[in-house]
Amino acid sequence: EDQVTQSPEALRLQEGESSSLNCSYTVSGLRGLFWYRQDPGKGPEFLFTLYSAGEEKEKERLKATLTKKESFLHITAPKPEDSATYLCAVLPANFGNEKLTFGTGTRLTIIP
Amino acid sequence: DAGVTQSPTHLIKTRGQHVTLRCSPISGHKSVSWYQQVLGQGPQFIFQYYEKEERGRGNFPDRFSARQFPNYSSELNVNALLLGDSALYLCASSLARENTIYFGEGSWLTVV
């Protein structure tokens, strides 16, 4: 069974203080690893899809990286508007369906 | 272009009642998936439909059912509601075999 574990559960940072969120996964063949941002009461907002070990993607202050067992979401010089829950999910390689398995998320708070 | 749209946004039902939630995918997307997100948890996969056929089903009881219409919109039906069905129900859409899956804002269901 596919599994995703995210750490830490919650993270409080001062504005400008860079850090990383971790996503460890086990999956029977990886088609893609997804990162989403979710604001309270809203649906997940797509950030990145990573496909293979060594791949990196960037968007503004966010950079996602992927290894064979985990992914990191690096946040550089965060601002208060980066406060949200960040979700990681894996999509298995069998093309029959598109079942995403999610972690429980990391709740990020950026303090001005 | 409009994103994934869901209705209603909020609803309150009584135990034992039935509920129907609706989803319109992004234009051109033929795959629709449903997820349940309980407070503090990541989304859990319920169903995936592609071209009106069920392609995947998560670990949910038979009280949960869904269908997809010729215009690719979808309905999620839940019968005999329980208090534990209270959650945010999310719809996601994607192009076939594309690895970008977009979510709607969700339908908040409260069962009392």
> Are A13 and A112 contacting, i.e. CB atoms less than 8 angstroms apart?
no
pLDDT for the residue A93? 86
Which pLDDT band, with edges at 50, 70 and 90, does B7 fall under? very high
Residue A5 scores a pLDDT above 80 = yes
Residues of B in contact with A100 (CB under 8 A): 33, 35, 43, 45, 92, 101
B31 - beta bridge partners? B50, B94
Which pLDDT band, with edges at 50, 70 and 90, does B96 fall under? low
Residues of B in contact with A99 (CB under 8 A): 33, 45, 48, 56, 58
> Are B23 and B76 contacting, i.e. CB atoms less than 8 angstroms apart?
yes
